Amino acid sequence: MIKTGKHLVLSLLVMFAVAMLAFAAAPVEPAAASTKVTLSVSGNVTPDYLNKIVNQIAAKYGVNPDDVIIKNAGGTTGNYCPSTPSQAKPAPAPTPNPVDPKPAPAPTPTPTPAPSPGQAGLTADEQEMLDLVNQERTSRGLAALVADPDLVRVARLKAQDMIDNGYFSHTSPTYGSPFDMMKAEGIKYGYAGENLAGASSVESAHQNLMNSSGHRANILNTNFKKVGIGVVNGGPYGKMFVQEFTD
């Protein structure tokens, strides 16, 4: 999906069993994982045109569209949103081991406003985004997501890394894919996903995500039970937002 103006949003939804974490059956990964193509854009670029250019570049260089990294050279730009890869069905056996439930941290840090019990010491922006996400879910009869401290840490690291290294992509030059990051942090999962957004406010970022089918699917996914939200000030859009989801 594409968003214009001074906002960026990306989504990635990959669901699979622990038995398939090696991605042996994932056709979406390019043969050479290190191949990247950087596209610099400036001025006013329509979403349709940018989407067309990204796909042409990906075809020309034989890379996945997800590996076309867009850098904003100034001005208002439209931004390519990579498509969500195919969902891998979990193997019927063995059943993935769920992440061991963790008690709410006690005492919970008290930013302004203080987070609700069990909300992993979220900042005001992070708590606001969690509330908006859970409003979307509960209004549709879905269970609210629980903020997980480990996922919050990963989300904040990813948001800061994008600001520090001037990129906007699911693949970090520092940490690799979001799933690489989760495994490095000892996070176990059967299903996982990531949403990214750049905007000047929580409300704007949330609306952009909900207006994109891929991002909305992550937010409303019934397989997800936990979320980590990281909001870091900085970057060309004012704030960087990362949502990490697991079951």
CATH of the domain at 142: 3.40.33.10
Residue 25 domain flag: yes
Kindly state whether residue 20 falls inside one of the protein's structural domains.
Answer: yes
Query: With a threshold of 0.85, does the pTM exceed it?
Result: no
CA-to-CA dists, residue 211 to 9, 124, 145, 193, 217, angstroms? 10, 23, 20, 17, 10
Structure tokens at 158: 């990813």
220/149 Cα distance (integer angstroms) = 21
**46, 118, 226, 241 from 222: Cα distances, Å:** 34, 21, 11, 22
Q: β-pairing, 239-246 with 226-233?
A: antiparallel
- The reply to whether 73 falls in a domain is yes
If one counts the domains in the chain, the total is 1
Q: Is residue 102 included in any domain, yes or no?
A: no
Residue 234 CB contacts under 8 Å (≥ 6 apart), including other chains: 160, 163, 240
In a domain, 143, yes or no: yes
At 27 the pLDDT is 34
Tokens of residue 86, six digits: 């195919």
Kindly state the average pLDDT of the residues 31-44: 51
Highest mean pLDDT among 4-18, 45-59, 98-112, 138-152: 138-152
Per the domain annotation, does 2 fall within a domain? no
**Structural domain for 221, as ranges:** 8-97+108-246
In a domain, 230, yes or no: yes
Tokens 């990362």: give the residue.
242
Mean pLDDT (the chain, rounded): 73
Residue 46 confidence (pLDDT) above 80: no
- Could you tell me the two tokens for 98? 């769920």
In a domain, 152, yes or no: yes
